[in-house]
Structure 1
Amino acid sequence: MTSTADLHEFNPMVSPHREDPHLFYKWSRAESPLTFAPALNAYMVTRYDDIKTIVDDPDTYSSANAIPVMWTNPPEVLEVLGGLVPEASTVVNADEPAHAPLRHVLDHAFSGRRVRRLVPAMTTKANELVDAFLVGDTADLVGQYADPYVQLVVSLVFGIPPQDVDTVQAWTNDYMLLMNPLAPVDGKLEAARRLHDYQAYIDAMAADRRAAPQEDFMSDLVHGGDGFPPVSHGDLHYMFRGLRFAGHDTTRDLMTSTLLLLLDHDRTLWTEVQADRRRLPRVIEEALRRDAPHRGLMRVTTREVALNGTTLPAGTSLLLLFGSANRDETRFPDPDAADPDRPNVREHLAFGSGIHQCPGAQLARTEVRIAIETLLDRLPDLHLAPGYIPSHIASYFFRGLERLAVAW
Structure 2
Amino acid sequence: MTNTQPAELTGFNPMVSPHRENPHLFYRWSRTEEPVAYSPALNAYMVTRYDDIKAIVEDPETFSSANAIPTMWTNPPEVLEALDGLLPEASTVVNADEPAHAPLRQVLNHAFSGRRVRRQLPAMKRRAHELINAFLPDGRADLVGRYSDPYVQLVVSLVFGIPPEDVDRVQAWTDDYMLLMNPLAPVEGKVEAALRLHDYQDYVARMAADRRENPREDFMSDLVHGSDHFPPASHEDLHYMFRGLRFAGHDTTRDLMTSALLLMLGDGRSLWEQAAADRTILPKIIEETLRRDAPHRGLMRVTTREAELDGITLPEGTALLLLFGSANRDETRFDHPDEVDLNRPNVREHLAFGSGIHQCPGSQLARTEVRVAIETLLDRLPALRLVDGYEPAYIASYFFRGLERLDITW
Same fold (TM > 0.5) = yes
Question: AA paired with 1:197?
Answer: D
Instruction: Calculate percent identity across the aligned residue pairs.
Output: 77
Instruction: Report if the CA contact (8 A) 2:68-2:319 is conserved.
Output: no
Per-residue CA deviation, residues 227-247 of structure 1 (Å, 9 max, x unaligned), is: 100011111111111100010
Question: AA paired with 1:33?
Answer: P
Partner in structure 1 of residue 72 of structure 2: 70
Instruction: Report if the CA contact (8 A) 1:138-1:405 is conserved.
Output: yes
Partner in structure 2 of residue 108 of structure 1: 110
Map 1:298-377 onto structure 2 (within 5 A): 298-377=300-379
Question: 1:134 is paired with a residue of what secondary structure?
Answer: helix
Per-residue CA deviation, residues 131-185 of structure 1 (Å, 9 max, x unaligned), is: 1111121111000000000000000001001111000000000000000000000
Instruction: Report if the CA contact (8 A) 2:160-2:218 is conserved.
Output: yes
Partner in structure 2 of residue 27 of structure 1: 29
Partner in structure 1 of residue 187 of structure 2: 185
Question: 2:288 is paired with a residue of what secondary structure?
Answer: helix
Give the drift of 1:84: 0.5
Give the drift of 1:305: 1.2
Q: Distance in 1 between matches of 2:183 and 2:164?
A: 32
Partner in structure 1 of residue 9 of structure 2: 7
Q: Distance in 1 between matches of 2:73 and 2:293?
A: 30
Question: AA paired with 2:25?
Answer: L
Give structure 2 stretches of 5+ with no counterpart. Answer: none
Q: Which of 360, 384, 408 is the aligned partner of 1:406?
A: 408
Give the drift of 1:274: 1.2
Question: 1:9 is paired with a residue of what secondary structure?
Answer: coil
Question: AA paired with 2:295?
Answer: P
Instruction: Report if the CA contact (8 A) 1:108-1:226 is conserved.
Output: no
Q: Distance in 1 between matches of 2:340 and 2:264?
A: 10
Q: Distance in 2 between matches of 1:164 and 1:305?
A: 47
Q: Distance in 2 between matches of 1:195 and 1:201?
A: 10
Map 1:264-279 onto structure 2 (within 5 A): 264-279=266-281
Q: Distance in 2 between matches of 1:5 and 1:226?
A: 57
Question: AA paired with 2:259?
Answer: S
Instruction: Report if the CA contact (8 A) 2:301-2:322 is conserved.
Output: yes
Partner in structure 2 of residue 293 of structure 1: 295
Give structure 1 stretches of 5+ with no counterpart. Answer: none
Give the drift of 1:226: 3.4
Partner in structure 1 of residue 90 of structure 2: 88
Give the drift of 1:307: 1.2
Partner in structure 2 of residue 232 of structure 1: 234
Q: Distance in 1 between matches of 2:16 and 2:81?
A: 29
Question: 1:256 is paired with a residue of what secondary structure?
Answer: helix
Partner in structure 2 of residue 55 of structure 1: 57
Question: AA paired with 2:121?
Answer: V
Map 1:96-245 onto structure 2 (within 5 A): 96-245=98-247
Q: Which of 363, 378, 396 is the aligned partner of 1:394?
A: 396
- How has the CA–CA distance of structure 1 residues 339 and 213 changed in structure 2, closer, same or farther, with 3 Å as cutoff? same
The total of aligned residue pairs comes to 406
Instruction: Report if the CA contact (8 A) 1:289-1:350 is conserved.
Output: yes
Give the drift of 1:341: 1.3
Per-residue CA deviation, residues 83-128 of structure 1 (Å, 9 max, x unaligned), is: 1011100110000000000000000000000000000100010011
Question: AA paired with 2:84?
Answer: G
Q: Distance in 1 between matches of 2:390 and 2:343?
A: 27
Q: TM-score, normalised by structure 2?
A: 0.98
Question: AA paired with 2:278?
Answer: D
Per-residue CA deviation, residues 276-295 of structure 1 (Å, 9 max, x unaligned), is: 11110010000000110000
Q: Distance in 2 between matches of 1:326 and 1:65?
A: 25
Give the drift of 1:346: 1.1
Q: TM-score, normalised by structure 1?
A: 0.98
Instruction: Report if the CA contact (8 A) 2:292-2:329 is conserved.
Output: yes
Instruction: Report if the CA contact (8 A) 2:61-2:304 is conserved.
Output: yes
Per-residue CA deviation, residues 319-363 of structure 1 (Å, 9 max, x unaligned), is: 000000000011111111111211111110000000000000000
Give the drift of 1:299: 0.2
Instruction: Report if the CA contact (8 A) 1:87-1:234 is conserved.
Output: yes
Q: Distance in 1 between matches of 2:341 and 2:143?
A: 23
Instruction: Report if the CA contact (8 A) 1:65-1:298 is conserved.
Output: no
Q: Distance in 1 between matches of 2:11 and 2:82?
A: 32
Question: AA paired with 1:248?
Answer: H
Runs of 4+ in 1 over 6 A off after TM superposition: none
Q: CA RMSD in A?
A: 0.9
Q: Distance in 2 between matches of 1:327 and 1:142?
A: 25
Q: Distance in 2 between matches of 1:200 and 1:5?
A: 48
- How has the CA–CA distance of structure 1 residues 258 and 66 changed in structure 2, closer, same or farther, with 3 Å as cutoff? farther
Q: Distance in 2 between matches of 1:264 and 1:357?
A: 30
Q: Distance in 1 between matches of 2:391 and 2:160?
A: 35
- How has the CA–CA distance of structure 1 residues 147 and 322 changed in structure 2, closer, same or farther, with 3 Å as cutoff? same
Give the drift of 1:370: 0.2
Per-residue CA deviation, residues 186-209 of structure 1 (Å, 9 max, x unaligned), is: 000000000000000000000000
